[in-house]
Amino acid sequence: MSSAKPHQKRALRLRTRFTLFLGLTAFVTSAALTAFTYTTARNYFLDQRSSLARAQTYANARAALALISSGQTDYSSVATSVRTEEKGFAILFVDDQDYPQLTSRQKSVLPPELLNEVTKEHVSGQQRFELDGKPYFAVGVNIPAINAQYFEAFRLTDTDTIIRRVGTALALGSVAITLLAAALGWWASRRLLKPVSRVAAAASGLASGGLNTRLAPESDPELNRLAQSFNDMADTMQARIEREAQFASDVSHELRSPITALSAAVEVLDARRVDLPERTQQALDVVVDQVRRFDQMVLDLLELSRIDAGVTDIHREELALDDVVARIAQRYGFADVPLDVGRGTLTTVWIDKLRLERILANLLDNARQHGGGPTRISLEPGKGRSVLLAVEDAGPGVARGERVRIFERFARGTAARHRIGTGLGLALVTEHAHALGGESWVEDRSGGGARFVVQLPVDRPSGEI
């Protein structure tokens, strides 16, 4: 188990960023276009309505001038376009006096600015205003021939309704365009990133040990160049790893003969140690320990080279795990170490007995060398259909920053740096655990010490014979 890492802000996925970028671009563009279209349409409708209102007002003002000049008092033909309150109203002044009203409205409802402009400055004008919460457009006409002022006010409710509907339609269209662009971006990014996903999957397969992983040629020249570069890299990596593995295997194999001869000679000397001086005996003890360590290292290297080369098969058989574990512990001299089987543990498993023996033997030897000896072996239920095999010790434990590194080859923890060992035992545990479909880690033991755990599947993997 690795040490805790500080919290890092999680970055958005590339596909998500591309989708957001395209959606945001579409939103900004459509919003700007909507604002421009809305402003243009609004100005157009208002200008059209204002032009029509001014034309009608001037026409009605001329009609009022003709009627007053002829001395008539029938004004039914004046202001026919604003006769009802639904359309608007008209007010006429002659010599600063109210002329007979065309509607029930009084001049006080008109905007003061417009009144002052037409009645006092004697010029025509126009102005938008609100009356009773409704929008109006008023036009005032000065008629100097009879010293009169004529006003008409037109309701703009219909015009404002049209403008609001246009704005609503444009806003909905902008939202629809944004959503469509986001959907298109998601779809396009998925298609564009498919080759990247294939490269990522291939790289993952290569990293997990699939040295034969390669990418198929792509139809696009640029993508095909990427695939070819990846394949060239994989070829180079595979050749280098195989060359190094073969070198390690050859060296280990060539060392077996001299190591065997050296071991035999050292054993002969050790058998006659009583005939040697005391200082020579001390030197012999050092030689015996180092030769045995060297011999074990060569054996471990040979075993790792066979694993790396993939020449070791898995031979699973149905076993009673608790019985096999007890017999392995006894075979390696740890018969007095208690074995605890947790409640609910699945002890009938399909497993390779030789690989299980190598896992447990290395864990027990690691506890003996670096943890003062194993204190307990336990079998516990794991996640799903799996079982946890754990070896505990009461030693100094393993620092959190070293809990991943000590399972690497030739790696040692701080507490074991000056102890005898090959540095390959835990690496072999990890390799065999992975070959069986499991994993290994180390954690703190309750009460002090370390607890090395291997999770092993119970059932035979599908497709495995």
* Per-residue pLDDT at 103: 62
**Locus of tokens 């280098």:** 240
Tell me how far apart the alpha carbons of residues 414 and 237 are, in angstroms, rounded to a whole number: 32
* Per-residue pLDDT at 89: 82
* Per-residue pLDDT at 67: 76
* Per-residue pLDDT at 10: 61
Tell me how far apart the alpha carbons of residues 327 and 324 are, in angstroms, rounded to a whole number: 5
List C-alpha distances in Å: 350 to 323, 359, 437, 460: 14, 15, 12, 6
Question: Which CATH class name applies to 221-309?
Answer: mainly alpha
In sequence order, the 6+-apart residues with CB closer than 8 A to the CB of 38 are 166, 167, 170
In this chain, the answer to whether the domains covering 19-162 and 221-309 adopt an identical fold is: no
Cα dihedral: 233, 234, 236, 240 (round 10)? 140
**Locus of tokens 């939103």:** 27
Q: Which of 366, 361, 386 is nearest to 436 (CA)?
A: 386
Classify residue 122 as left (phi > 0), alpha (psi -120 to 50) or beta.
Answer: left
Q: Are 432 and 355 in contact (CB under 8 A)?
A: yes
Distance of CA 406 to the CA centre of its chain: 31
Angle at which helices 278-309 and 425-435 pack, to 10 degrees?
20
* Per-residue pLDDT at 378: 93
* Per-residue pLDDT at 2: 41
Domain ranges of the chain: 19-162, 221-309, 316-457
**Joined tokens for residue 386:** 């799996």
Classify residue 292 as left (phi > 0), alpha (psi -120 to 50) or beta.
Answer: alpha
> 374-381 and 339-341: which strand pairing?
parallel
| Amino acid present at 451 | R
pLDDT in tens, 31-89: 888 888 888 888 888 888 888 888 888 888 888 788 777 776 565 556 555 555 567 88
* Per-residue pLDDT at 320: 92
Query: Which residues in the chain come in under a pLDDT of 70?
Result: 1-11, 72-86, 96-104, 209, 244-245, 247-256, 296-312, 410, 412-422, 462-465
What is the CA angle 142-145-146, rounded to 5?
Answer: 85
Q: Are 201 and 215 in contact (CB under 8 A)?
A: no
The pTM of the whole model exceeds 0.75:
no
CATH code of 19-162, in short, is: 3.30.450
Backbone angles phi, psi at 171, to 5 degrees: -65, -45
CATH value of 316-457 in 3.40.190.10, 3.90.440.10, 3.30.70.240, 3.30.565.10: 3.30.565.10
Distance of CA 155 to the CA centre of its chain: 57
